[in-house]
Amino acid sequence: MFNNLLESLYNKVLVNIVKKSASMDVYIEIYSKKSIIDHVFESFNSTALDSKMVNFIEGYLKESPYYYISVLDTSMDQGAIPTCNKSKSTYYKDLSASEYKCYDKEWTYYTSKSDLYEIEKQFHEIGVDFIFSPFVLLSHFFQDKISAKMAMYILIEEASMSLAVFESGKLLYAEHLDMEQVVDSEDDLLSQGMSDEEEIDIDSDLNIDLEDVDVIDDIEGLEDFGDIEDLDSLEDIDEFAEDKDIEEELLEVEEPQEENNDTNFNEDYQRFSLINSSLGHYYSDTKYESQFIETVYIADSIGVSSDLKRYLEEEMFLNVYIRRVNISMELCEITKRELGL
């Protein structure tokens, strides 16, 4: 009781870090008795915890002995499976080399132990209290829709996407998608095409046209990988999102600047290709309860162009709704739920 009383006398400092392709975003809130008394956002042009970033963060950590540091898990070897049942988990994924948690007693999210170790190592100078899965963030962000609507939900980041299919709150399918997969596949195709071309007689008139083409316990649902020293110590996250009309979610996506059109076109086509491939896997793999998908909700953290929405609507006949998300601020909301603030 004395500790609780002492804690109530201090503000809480909530530090939220998101690693991007070439930078890191840091969002900090100073929280006092159910209200925000200060907040700051800073983006650093580095993917490492350099001295500038450490000094910035530690300047705020000095304000209170009660501070919490949260990061988003950006590792590639992660995902989610539609069960928390011990005997069924291996049907979907071998989790022996992964750390995993049960979410809401319904589904499990996981990431490799080696990747978690690397995250801990990267932030050892300031420490890490919470490592949040993007699938938890996606579920949290769209809680108002997931609980009632059968749809595909996608969190878009710079170098990856986290895709999940939910029906009335039940996870049916999930996959973490790496943008580099498309690039690598296209490179392989190009290399193969070049090899084939070398076999053609040099005098041939034929033109080659390459087109771009674990044992799981029935534990309480935990939304992050928790304290690095005690991964099983946290409580459930409660629902928080308020209902929003679909019309309020339909955003007019800004057209990219003219000089960036080619880059945005290529990236949006890569995202479309990954989504199309993942959806095909969902429909064809008998392990999953395939339901026909008509609607897609996108949590957009980067500002995609209108091309992605157009591809999904015209090529896959999907109804697409986009909601912008600031991931570092969303991490802060989840952290507050974890802490009961």
DSSP H/E element including 237: none
97, 89 Cβ separation under 8 angstroms:
no
pLDDT at 123: 95
**Residue 274 CB partners (closer than 8 Å, separation 6+):** 161, 177, 179, 181, 182
Residues of the chain with pLDDT under 50: 2, 183-223, 227-259
Helix, strand, coil % in the chain, rounded to nearest 5:
35, 25, 40
Domains of the chain with bracketed CATH = 2-72 (3.30.420), 78-180+214-339 (3.30.420.40)
172, 82 Cβ separation under 8 angstroms:
yes
CA angle (138, 179, 24) in 5-degree steps:
65
**Residue 18 CB partners (closer than 8 Å, separation 6+):** 24, 25, 71, 72, 74, 327, 328, 331
Q: Residue 59 burial (CB < 10 Å; 0-12/13-18/19+)?
A: exposed
305, 268 Cβ separation under 8 angstroms:
yes
214, 100 Cβ separation under 8 angstroms:
yes
**Residue 246 CB partners (closer than 8 Å, separation 6+):** 321
DSSP 8-state code for residue 16:
E
Gap between the Cα atoms of 131 and 133, Å rounded: 7
**Residue 106 CB partners (closer than 8 Å, separation 6+):** 82, 84, 169, 170, 171, 221
pLDDT at 252: 41
29 φ, ψ (degrees, to nearest 5) = -120, 140
Gap between the Cα atoms of 332 and 341, Å rounded: 11
